[in-house]
């Protein structure tokens, strides 16, 4: 791989975009590498949580415009959409560890994550309208579902970035840390999530994500598609037994 680094440490997988010369902008090949890495980490039973970050003090500048001009290839994959992630994020929990700027496509990558940890010098925004464009890689779709609609529309229509502290105040960022500490904090959070029953975590994420589209009268019935298997699982029995026996559960993901 040339555009990313992939690591697995225990139950946590890491995808690090490593193109600092272009502020970790994504070209076609890198997008496909991200998609392939996600497929691989999803297939590994031992991996329960995934982190995405950028090397060199940057998260991602989004689309590599120089590469687009040179090749005519947009960084859109057949399996996971733009940047190898935005149209089909992983079913496993995904944490974005943001250092520096996450603007345009960079923020859209972060919005594909379930949780965002950011350094206090990070800037987050969707400047596309200032360039005659629309943030179509999930920006204008996901942002109004993550923060109050009026604040999302302000960011979308002005194109102005906000600081990490402000992003935390409005609920876009979960945790704010000192510069250089975003990945370490994301790892701590990933370890906590990975310590829970993996089948239950995936099901809970799926219901929390999908239920935004459900009507109130049908939500309880529709969630059973995800939760019935968890209720009847070996891990559910193990969780109850471990609680009674006052020990750490041993999850089997089944």
Decide if pLDDT at 96 tops 80.
Answer: yes
Q: For tokens 């799926």, what's the residue?
A: 206
List residues with catalytic annotation: 108, 128
- For 194-221, what is the mean pLDDT? 92
Q: Are 109 and 173 in contact (CB under 8 A)?
A: no
> Mind listing the pLDDT tens digit for each residue in 59-93?
999 999 888 888 988 999 999 999 999 999 999 99
Tell me, what's the pLDDT at 1? 60
HSE, CB side, 13 Å, CA atoms: give it for residue 189.
Answer: 22
> Residue 117's pLDDT band (boundaries 50, 70, 90)?
very high
- For 133-142, what is the mean pLDDT? 95
């Amino acid at each position: 791989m040339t555009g990313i680094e992939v690591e697995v440490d225990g139950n946590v997988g890491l995808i690090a975009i490593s193109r600092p010369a272009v502020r970790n902008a994504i070209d076609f090949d890198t997008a496909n590498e991200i998609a392939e890495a996600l497929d691989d980490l999803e297939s590994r039973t031992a991996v329960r949580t995934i982190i995405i970050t950028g090397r060199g003090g940057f998260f991602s500048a989004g689309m590599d415009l120089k590469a687009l001009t040179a090749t005519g290839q947009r960084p859109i994959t057949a399996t996971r959409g733009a940047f190898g992630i935005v149209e089909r994020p992983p079913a496993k929990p995904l944490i974005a560890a943001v250092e520096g700027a996450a603007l345009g496509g960079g923020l859209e990558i972060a919005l594909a994550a379930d949780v965002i940890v950011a350094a206090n010098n990070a800037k987050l925004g969707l400047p596309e309208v200032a360039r005659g464009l629309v943030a179509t890689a999930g920006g204008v779709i996901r942002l109004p579902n993550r923060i109050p609609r009026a604040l999302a529309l302000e960011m979308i229509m002005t194109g102005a970035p906000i600081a990490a502290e402000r992003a935390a105040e409005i609920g876009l960022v979960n945790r704010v840390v000192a510069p250089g500490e975003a990945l370490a904090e994301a790892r701590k959070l990933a370890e906590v999530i990975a310590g829970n029953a993996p089948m239950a975590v995936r099901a809970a994420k799926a219901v929390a994500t999908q239920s935004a589209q459900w009507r109130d009268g049908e939500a309880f019935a529709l969630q059973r598609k995800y939760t019935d298997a968890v209720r009847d699982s070996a891990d559910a029995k193990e969780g109850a037994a471990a609680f009674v026996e006052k020990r750490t559960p041993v999850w089997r993901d089944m």
